[in-house]
Amino acid sequence: MMSIIGASKVITCNENNDIINDGGIVFEDKCIIEVGVFNDLIQKYKIQGNFFDECCITPALINAHTHIEFSSSFPYNLGSFSQWLSSIIAHRQEEMTKKECMYKVINLMQQNGIGTIGAISSQGFDLQPLVQSSLRVVYFNEIIGSSEENQNFIYKNFLQRIEDSLKYQSHRFSIGIAIHSPYSVIPSLITQAITQAQNNNFPLSVHFLESAEEREWLENSCGFFKEFYKKFNLQVTQSFHNINGFLQYFDNFNGKILFVHATHAREHELYRMAKKDSALVSCPVSNRLLGGRMLDFKKVNHILPCILATDSLASHYSLSLLEEMKIALFSFNAPLLSLAQELFLSVTQKAGQALGLNIGMLNAGMLADIAVFHVPFIKQSCNEILSLILQAKQAQNLWIDGVPIPIERYNYE
Ligand code: BEZ
Ligand code: FE2
């Protein structure tokens, strides 16, 4: 069935960043047919439309990096990466299985206008909640393992999770691979995981240089991780890789790569990460709460595309990209209006490209993943994206694949 919707402003996030006053979108089945002026479209297609006054229509937002298994709001230690990691390890097994919490955060994300997530799955407990949801999902099966002895078991378990997730592969549910980090995965497992990604044409995601502790370990095999491995795995006495050696694994990989965090990367390392199909995912709230530094978003965005994401409730109080954009706007030291625009493009157009999906722009031929946000006085605003980031509380409507998603209203406070 064909639908036409319109709003005071249509923020297309297309190549020209077009914003259309009293704009409209025609879509049918899963696809956008035409974007233009609402009244012209109504005349052309001769069907009734639905116009949202004082609202913006935008591409549905894309949260390219989160972990749905960590949705329980357990109070992990904040303020220091090392203490946070230790508290995660102490509590993860019991917290990761809480499915009710997963259903709740999935709903909350949709209420906030998110249509797609990149979900890092470490054990597969999130598979059913995500498959049953109406979100578009890139499901990154994660490999983590520091033990030579257990490597066969770890790899088999990883392959089994890929196979389980492939059963649900669909137009809305695609598969990726995540390598946890250079401090937690041994060389043989990294090589095997990258080979799997290459052979199956899966995108890759990898946490990289998130903390000073990680940098110190990769450079000098000392500091926090030295003590950590004395307790966690006595056999590990030095780092599995140095920084350059770790990046070399990806040199011949032909596909999408999402490097996550890189708050402790130097400029020449960022240039090394900047390849045709790579992007850098930045999660400023999480970085702040773990006591780390934030990325110089505007500067790094000139080196490789930077994308804003939330990470999980293990290091955040919310999975809302509206909230993340607002915090980023006040934290990143850069000219206001161009930063607002870059942040918004990063959770739409750029995130769609980084995940290799046909979403994130309102253009004919793109998938009909569309959000409507009520923004008071948007008609009079000439800084539409800034007004949206400052004013929008939650989505008023959301379509994923052209299908309207029911939005339960909730009280923000
Ligand atoms: C592991 O689960 O193998 C692991 C987790 C964190 C750091 C290192 C290893
Ligand atoms: Fe993460």
Give pLDDT tens digits for 263-289.
999 999 999 999 889 999 999 999 999
**pLDDT of amino acid 410:** 57
Distance 368 CA to ligand 1 centre (A): 39
145 lines ligand 1 (CB under 6 A): yes
Nearest-atom index, ligand 1, CA of 147: 3
State the chain's mean pLDDT as an integer.
97
User: How many Å lie between the centroid of ligand 2 and the Cα of residue 180?
Assistant: 8
Q: What is the pLDDT of residues 18-40, one digit of tens each?
A: 999 999 999 999 999 999 999 99
CA-nearest residue, atom 7 of ligand 1: 184
**Does 210 qualify as catalytic in the annotation?**
yes
Residue 411: pLDDT band (50, 70, 90) is low
In the structure, ligand 2 is a single-atom ion and the residues with CB under 5 Å from it are: 311
Looking at all shown ligands, the one closest to residue 313's CA atom is: 2
Q: Is residue 146 lining ligand 1, measured as CB closer than 6 Å?
A: yes
Q: Which ligand is nearest to the CA of 310?
A: 2
- Taking residues 86-108, report their average pLDDT: 95
| Choice from 67, 122, 146, 230 to test ligand 1 binding pocket (greatest atom count within 8 A of CB) | 146
Q: Which ligand is nearest to the CA of 181?
A: 1
Q: Residue 85 CA: which ligand 1 atom is closest?
A: 6
The pLDDT of residue 403 is above 60: yes
412 pLDDT higher than 50? no
State whether the beta carbon of 184 lies less than 6 angstroms from ligand 1: yes
Tokens of residue 22, six digits? 């009293």
- What's the pLDDT band for 407 if we cut at 50, 70, 90? confident
211-253 per-position pLDDT tens digit: 999 999 999 999 999 999 999 999 999 999 999 999 999 999 9
Task: Tell me if 182 CB under 6 Å of ligand 1.
Answer: no
